[in-house]
Amino acid sequence: MSGVVAGPDGGLRCPWGLSTADYVAYHDTEWGRPVHGDDALYERLCLEAFQSGLSWLTILRRREGFRTAFAGFEIAAVAEFGAPDVERLLADEGIIRNRAKIEATLANAKTLAGWRAGELDALVWSHAPEPGRAPRSTTEIPAVTPESTALAKALKKAGIRFVGPTTAYALMQACGLVNDHLARCVARGPAA
């Protein structure tokens, strides 16, 4: 089952978007919609990094815990975190307690705090590809693209940690740089 599937309301959706109530809401209202703003993109970048090796549902269900633990993902606030905060975060059951991911989140905030306002937004969005044909099945959706590889390299070169081409592509999907909702999916929009 890799094409669109009818949901309880009769609307056609990407199959993953119907697997849990959490996914229905995320799929229908958030995934693939354009996200702008340095703090908002920093949050998504951090959450995608925490997701690495885990299910996105695990992250989605803990997102409010992450937001509380990481000061709403305000770059300036997280940039002030230090060693005591790392220990506090490692004890926080509301998040994924992975030292490397926590330390990368803090290091990335410190790096981004030195950037001009809008610089992260501009860097991320400069890697958005031209819109393509809507995928008809999940088998047509890549895990990595030349653009996600270039974005990962640009972020790494700028000092951002824990981001590779697959994480960069997941970020691009989540933040609307690409629209990987399947053709005929209700969340794809009027051009479906």
Point out the residues that are catalytic. Answer: 26, 48, 56
Per the CB < 8 A criterion, the answer to whether 29 and 176 are in contact is no
Per the CB < 8 A criterion, the answer to whether 154 and 127 are in contact is yes
Burial of 179 (0-12, 13-18, 19+ CB in 10 A): buried
Per-position b or e across 74-113, b if 16+ CB within 10 A of its CB: bbeebbebeeebeeebeebeebbebeebbbbbbbbbebbe
Q: For residues 108 and 98, what is the distance between their CA atoms, to the nearest angstrom?
A: 15
